[in-house]
Amino acid sequence: MTDATAHRPDSLDRPDIIVFPPIIPLSTLVISCVLQWLVPLGLLDDIDQAWRIGWGAILFTGGMITTIVGRRTLSRHGTNVDPRQPATALVTEGIFRRTRNPLYVGIIATQYAVALVFALDWLLLLVVPSWIVLHFAVVIREERYLERKFGDAYRRYKERVPRYLLGR
């Protein structure tokens, strides 16, 4: 812990996120369903239903496993999963060796899975803006917080492990 965060009240020892992360994919799903009902595009309807359901099931399973494993890893290390709470440990083991944000990677995969299985064209399209909101409203702010709190240890971690699955 750096001197800057060592003396901060607990109410300030947390990321300055703009929105609670689960609200982003849930609101994206609701908006997508409304748009699908009002203005159906029919893009996914032309793809074989068995193919969509099969690949959707694979994506959903992978996304859920990624999210669950990430949550369990954070809990096992005694740190808060909820980004509105202080981080008490820098977790760099397990799935966090592959991605710094397994919960968000998993959620994005499950959004695509739901889009495929239920032929929600709008969800397929809105995952990208949803991810952009998540990136700027949550992820970047969490990273600034973790860098302030864990300093060089977090900077070294950022150098080794991609933010999502690709790139840094």
Instruction: With beta carbons less than 8 A apart as the criterion, state whether 113 and 59 touch.
Output: yes
In a domain, 168, yes or no: no
Residue at 121 is within a domain: yes
Residue 80, number of CB atoms within 10 A of its CB: 14
Token match 């202080």: residue?
Answer: 86
Do the domain assignments include residue 167? no
pLDDT digits 0-9 by tens, 56-88: 999 999 999 999 999 999 999 988 888 888 889
Total number of domains in the chain = 1
2 found inside a domain: no
- How many whole angstroms separate alpha carbon 120 and alpha carbon 123? 5
pTM recorded for the entire structure: 0.84
Question: Helix, strand or coil for residue 115?
Answer: helix
Q: Is residue 5 part of a domain?
A: no
Identify whether 3 is part of a domain: no
* Residue 111 lies inside a defined structural domain of this protein: yes
* Cβ–Cβ < 8 Å for 84, 17: yes
Answer yes or no: is 135 within a domain: yes
Share of the chain above pLDDT 70, in %: 92
Q: How does pLDDT run across 22-64, given as a tens digit for each residue?
A: 999 999 999 999 999 999 998 898 899 999 999 999 999 999 9
Taking alpha carbons only, the member of 125, 99, 100, 101 closest to residue 111 is 125
Distance between CA atoms of residues 123 and 84, nearest Å: 27
Range of the domain at 102: 25-38+47-160
